């Protein structure tokens, strides 16, 4: 056997014996690396005459090609085995759970004679219900509105006439129905405020939870489908301090003492003055991280004193009544409560994530 054949033989053995990616990598450097026999023979080519160099060069080329093929094939085998191992480790056999877990038995389970696990509400639903309870205890009623809205309720009555620049804050999904851009998926729960005031006279003390839609790219703190909790209070003598007091009471009830909250001046067309409601970042505790984009605070929603123009649009007398309103992100409340670094986890429907809550 000549030296090249020996090198191929040895490389073949090394590659074949590798059982992990790390071992394969080691086999690769031993067969092909700078200190390998192949490398030494390739370097020695320069000392040969032209004839012999061509001949030996070709043999070395073939040896490399053979070993490279072996290496590639082995790498694919190992990758496939690793994928299988991962799949086995993450395997969830739901039929096994039906038989082994104690729980409420549904009709199907009873017919089989076995208990079925009852499952539980999604984290976002749990948080929504808890937040509703907090406000019910404070004397608020819970209201609802449609997810498919018209331009009047979502924009116009909220002091955003057609072509108002503030509409740019809301990247809107329009439906192909009626006049172009007249029917849409609501971009916030604020249209429920309009519907409440259209349907009755003050005093109004209401919260309205619900799903909202925006053409946003998902990231750690944004989802294109998300949930808000709207609040609307309209009565005689309502001031900004009532707004701050209600938010404080809510923060204490929901987070317990210890979490810091702040109101930061902002702008919304439907409130004057307007503010944003922030809490200290739950991931870094205020030091600055990816979730809070380095600021130490995460915005939970917007709020303010209802703009007189909104009252006028729905026929409430702005001389007699004042009011406050807000829209809080329920998904962010859920993330804040559970120290969730990436809000997209809420939509993945991964049982391993969901069963933790
Ligand atoms: N609708 C606003 C948004 O989605 C949030 C908001 C701000 C709601 C101020 C309000 C409010 O009720 O008064 O960005």
> Strands 183-185, 225-235: parallel, antiparallel or unpaired by DSSP?
unpaired
For residue 109, the model assigns a pLDDT of: 59
CA 319 – ligand 1 centroid, Å: 23
Kind and range of the H or E element at 148?
strand 148-150
> How many Å apart are CA 330 and CA 334, to the nearest integer?
6
The residue among 155 and 219 whose pLDDT is bigger is 155
What integer best gives the mean pLDDT of the chain?
A: 90
Is the CB of 151 within 6 Å of ligand 1? no
Residue 27 has pLDDT above 80, yes or no: yes
CA 26 – ligand 1 centroid, Å: 59
For residue 108, the model assigns a pLDDT of: 61
CA 326 – ligand 1 centroid, Å: 5
- Greatest CA span in the chain, whole angstroms? 106
Is the CB of 329 within 6 Å of ligand 1? no
- Mind listing the pLDDT tens digit for each residue in 178-201? 999 999 999 999 999 999 999 999
For residue 101, the model assigns a pLDDT of: 46
Q: Sorting pLDDT into bands at 50, 70 and 90, what band is 116?
A: low
Closest residue by CA, ligand 1 atom 9 = 303
Closest residue by CA, ligand 1 atom 14 = 302
Top mutation candidate among 143, 227, 240, 270 for ligand 1, by most atoms within 8 Å of CB: 270
For residue 324, the model assigns a pLDDT of: 98
Is the CB of 326 within 6 Å of ligand 1? yes
Top mutation candidate among 159, 302, 333 for ligand 1, by most atoms within 8 Å of CB: 302
Characterize 208-232 residue by residue with b for buried, 16 or more Cβ atoms within 10 angstroms of its Cβ, and e for exposed.
Answer: bbbebbbeeeeebbebebbbbbbbb
Q: With a threshold of 0.95, does the pTM exceed it?
A: no
Is the CB of 155 within 6 Å of ligand 1? no
Is the CB of 226 within 6 Å of ligand 1? no
- Mind listing the pLDDT tens digit for each residue in 269-316? 999 999 999 998 888 888 998 878 899 998 999 999 999 999 999 999
> What is the signed CA dihedral for 198, 131, 213, 200, rounded to 10 degrees?
0
225-235 β-sheet, strand order: 141-142, 204-213, 225-235, 322-329, 297-306, 271-280, 261-268
Is the CB of 327 within 6 Å of ligand 1? yes
Kind and range of the H or E element at 211?
strand 204-213
Is the CB of 154 within 6 Å of ligand 1? no
CA 290 – ligand 1 centroid, Å: 24
CA 125 – ligand 1 centroid, Å: 21
Is the CB of 321 within 6 Å of ligand 1? no
Residue 50 has pLDDT above 60, yes or no: yes
Is the CB of 11 within 6 Å of ligand 1? no
Closest residue by CA, ligand 1 atom 10 = 326
> How many Å apart are CA 223 and CA 214, to the nearest integer?
8
């Amino acid at each position: 056997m000549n030296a090249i054949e020996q090198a191929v033989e040895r490389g073949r053995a090394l590659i074949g014996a590798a059982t992990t990616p790390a071992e394969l990598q080691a086999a690769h450097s031993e067969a092909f690396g700078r200190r390998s026999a192949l490398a030494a023979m390739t370097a020695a080519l320069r000392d040969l005459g032209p004839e012999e160099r061509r001949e030996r060069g070709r043999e070395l080329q073939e040896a490399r090609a053979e070993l490279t093929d072996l290496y590639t094939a082995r790498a694919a085998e190992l990758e496939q085995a690793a994928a299988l191992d991962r799949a086995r480790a993450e395997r969830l056999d739901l039929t096994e759970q039906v038989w082994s877990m104690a729980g409420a038995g549904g009709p199907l389970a009873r017919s089989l004679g076995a208990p079925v696990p009852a499952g539980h509400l999604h984290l976002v639903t749990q948080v929504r219900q808890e937040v509703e309870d907090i406000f019910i205890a404070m004397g608020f009623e819970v209201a609802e509105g449609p997810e498919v809205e018209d331009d009047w309720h979502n924009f116009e009555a909220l002091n955003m006439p057609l072509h108002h620049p503030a509409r740019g804050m809301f990247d809107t999904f329009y439906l192909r129905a009626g006049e172009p851009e007249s029917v849409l998926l609501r971009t916030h729960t604020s249209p429920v405020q309009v519907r409440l005031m259209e349907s009755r006279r003050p005093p109004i003390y209401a919260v309205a939870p619900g799903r909202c839609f925006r053409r946003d790219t998902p990231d750690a703190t944004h989802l294109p489908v998300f949930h808000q909790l709207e609040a609307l209070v309209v009565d005689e003598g309502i001031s900004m301090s009532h707004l701050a007091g209600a938010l404080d009471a809510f923060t204490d009830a929901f987070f317990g003492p210890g979490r810091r909250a702040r109101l930061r001046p902002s702008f919304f067309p439907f409130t004057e003055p307007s503010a944003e409601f922030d809490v200290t970042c739950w991931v870094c505790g205020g030091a600055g991280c990816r979730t809070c984009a380095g600021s130490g605070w995460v915005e939970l929603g917007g709020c303010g004193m209802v703009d007189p123009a909104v009252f006028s649009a729905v026929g409430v007398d702005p001389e007699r009544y004042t009011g406050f309103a807000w829209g809080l992100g329920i998904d962010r409340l859920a993330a804040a409560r559970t120290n969730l670094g990436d809000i997209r986890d809420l939509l993945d429907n991964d049982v391993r994530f969901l069963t933790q809550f």
